[in-house]
Amino acid sequence: MEAGVLFSGGKDSALAAILLARDYEVELNTCVFDSNRDVPAVRAAAAALDLPFQRRVLGNDLLEEAVDLLLSCGYPNDAINMVHLAAVEALSREYGVVGDGTRREDRVPRLERSAVQHLETTTGCSYVRPLLGYGKPEVERLAGRLLVVQYGETGSIGNGDYEQEIRSAVRARGIDPASLFPSRHLQSLVVGKRET
């Protein structure tokens, strides 16, 4: 059975894909808003994992809706969760299993149980989060054993996280995104796979 995994190119989504690939035919999916945005570093991360890759376009309307929500709330959590749900729903139309790399402590992105139940009931897909029982220290240990990972602040590495395009759209409205997002937020990018 095929499983579509939301893939930012980072360690969490890479580990989720590795775990799911034991039981499913995994295809990695990176969602962008702008149809012209390419994600070469994410493609390279997918190639390092030796898994097929798709770039999916969510559209600028969703981006503008996310920015409106972010600005009305004053913080990014609800906007990122809204985008994440839209991405999961998009994959649920094509895959019987949809997965992501959310961990136990993650607050964002995070789908509530009611949203997951609604999704599975209405689409018939299974939504799986293989890292949900893993805490950050164990994820770090597994990543160190299985992956070669580069770290950097949001925007300084070429991962496929939703946040980069949202920050750019906020900046395009003449607002400094630094006032809305946590400072020194480290992101990860897989640059290789270790032989174990």
Domains of the chain: 2-193 (3.40.50.620)
**What is the C-alpha to C-alpha distance for residues 72 and 76, in angstroms, rounded to an integer?**
10
Which segments within 33-184 are labelled E, that is strand? 53-57, 97-99, 126-128, 147-153
Exposed, middle or buried by CB within 10 Å (0-12, 13-18, 19+), for 190?
Answer: buried
Structural contact between residues 9 and 133, judged by C-beta atoms closer than 8 angstroms: no
Give the pTM: 0.93
- Looking at the predicted structure, is the pLDDT value of residue 153 above 90? no
Query: Running DSSP on this structure, what letter comes out for residue 105?
Result: T
Please give the pLDDT value at position 107.
Answer: 80
112, 45, 52, 48: which is closest to 77 by C-alpha?
Answer: 112
Q: Nearest 5°: phi and psi at 25?
A: -85, 100
Percent of the chain with pLDDT over 90: 80
The string of pLDDT tens digits covering residues 48-102 is 999 999 999 999 999 999 999 999 999 899 999 999 999 999 999 999 999 999 9
Please give the pLDDT value at position 104.
Answer: 86
The residue that leads in pLDDT, 162 or 6, is: 6
Average pLDDT (157-162) is 83
Confidence of residue 152 (pLDDT cuts 50, 70, 90): confident
Place of tokens 């946040």: 163
Confidence of residue 186 (pLDDT cuts 50, 70, 90): confident
Average pLDDT (135-158) is 89
Confidence of residue 121 (pLDDT cuts 50, 70, 90): very high
Structural contact between residues 147 and 15, judged by C-beta atoms closer than 8 angstroms: yes
Which segments within the chain are labelled E, that is strand? 2-6, 25-32, 53-57, 97-99, 126-128, 147-153, 186-193
